[in-house]
Amino acid sequence: MSPELMTLWELAITFAKMGALIFGGGLVIVALIEDEIVIGQQWLTHKEFLDGLALGQVTPGPITILATFVGYKVAGIGGALVATIAIYAPGILLVILTTRYFQRVRHSRWVRAFLNGVKPAAVAVLVAVSLRLATTMIQEPLSVLLALAALGILLFSKIEAWMLILVGALIGLLWR
């Protein structure tokens, strides 16, 4: 197999594995993606990974954008297509294979028990990812102040997250 095809194959396998673990939203697997992409495969530096993650946060489908970004950085347009398709493949296959049985399965005691265990674990992963990203990205005094203000606004107001991200970007541009 040529090196180019091998790289595309590795991208497909890597992102299909990650796509299989998405439950309750893609942000649950940010730590997994970071470990695999930055530490395991060494396809991106930590800074490049954070840049891709930030880019994804200002667009619909942040994990899709991150997968596309990584795929493009690793193997150009072909890599972007492979990574984007691969991250969706497990979910699409699951829907295709389970739709027929959904009515029976959704009332299953076993499925409810499974979901009752997975949901708190998914929340714990989100908290851990948030703390991990916060300690990496929020180091300057202005960043700390902006993060605390944003957290307060999100918790105690009805402002939408995209507006908050836009205001943060504008403050960052004006501050530099």
Q: Which segment, 12-16, 100-104, 113-117, 143-147, is predicted with the most confidence on average?
A: 12-16
Is pLDDT of 51 > 90? no
**Per the structure block, which two tokens stand in for 86?**
């691969």
Residue 175 neighbours by CB under 8 Å, 6+ apart: 142
- pLDDT-derived band at 47 (thresholds 50, 70, 90) equals confident
Q: What's the burial of 28, exposed, middle or buried (CB within 10 Å: 0-12/13-18/19+)?
A: buried
Phi-psi region of 22 (alpha: psi -120 to 50; beta: other; left: phi over 0): beta
| Range of lowest pLDDT (66-70, 79-83, 165-169) | 165-169
* pLDDT greater than 80 at residue 37: yes
Mean pLDDT of 57-69: 83
Range 139-164 burial, b when 16+ CB lie within 10 A, else e: eeeeeeebeeebeeeeeeeeeeeeeb
pLDDT score, position 107: 78
